[in-house]
Amino acid sequence: MSEKIEIPFNDIDALNSAASEEFGDFGPPVEVTQDMINTFADVTGDHQWIHVDIEKANAGPFGGPIAHGFLTLSMLPSLRTSDPFKITGISGAVNYGADKLRFMAPVPAGASVQARTRLVSAEAKGAGTLVKTETAVHVVDAEKPSLIYQGLVLYM
């Protein structure tokens, strides 16, 4: 695993110098169980058969139930342990939203997923720094990502 570089949140030039087209290493895999999918369906009210009706999903286009895309997205905090950088000197951080979200490939129930991240850019925003990262979530050993997410965090 690559060593993390530490960058102060207010060093815009250093953050932008660390921006890269290359993703960091994959973090540890996390299994997406049918129980997780069912619980997510209960919480969101999205009980579409492709997620929760195992018998019907087994005969469907993916050969079994698949995770909700937004379930995969909601797992990012537990998957993003492999950031190639560490932002230091912060007193707080606020989720500022997203610039891009794409669901690229299904996540079958029972599969394990892992994520890797890259720093895209940083800009001054008020008394803080707005940092854009891109995270790719893959089913383990799959070349094509299941999810691509460009997130924005305001560091103060």
- The 10s digit of each residue's pLDDT in 77-124 is 999 767 778 999 999 999 999 999 999 999 999 999 999 999 999 999
CB 18 within 8 A of CB 7: yes
Radius of gyration of the chain (CA): 17
State how far the Cα of 56 lies from the Cα of 49, in Å rounded to an integer.
7
CATH classification of the domain holding 123? 3.10.129.10
40-63 confidence digits (pLDDT tens): 999 999 999 999 999 999 999 999
Q: How many domains does the chain have?
A: 1
Domain coverage including residue 99: 5-155
- Is residue 24 within 8 A of residue 117, CB to CB? The reply is yes
Confidence of residue 2 (pLDDT cuts 50, 70, 90): low
**Residue-wise pLDDT tens digits, 121-133:** 999 999 999 999 9
Q: Are strands 93-103 and 85-88 parallel, antiparallel or unpaired?
A: unpaired
Q: Where does residue 115 rank: exposed (0-12), middle (13-18), buried (19+ CB within 10 A)?
A: buried
Classify 25 as helix, strand or coil: coil
**Is residue 72 helix, strand or coil?**
helix
Residues whose CB is less than 8 angstroms from the CB of residue 33 and which lie 6 or more positions away in sequence, other chains included = 109, 110
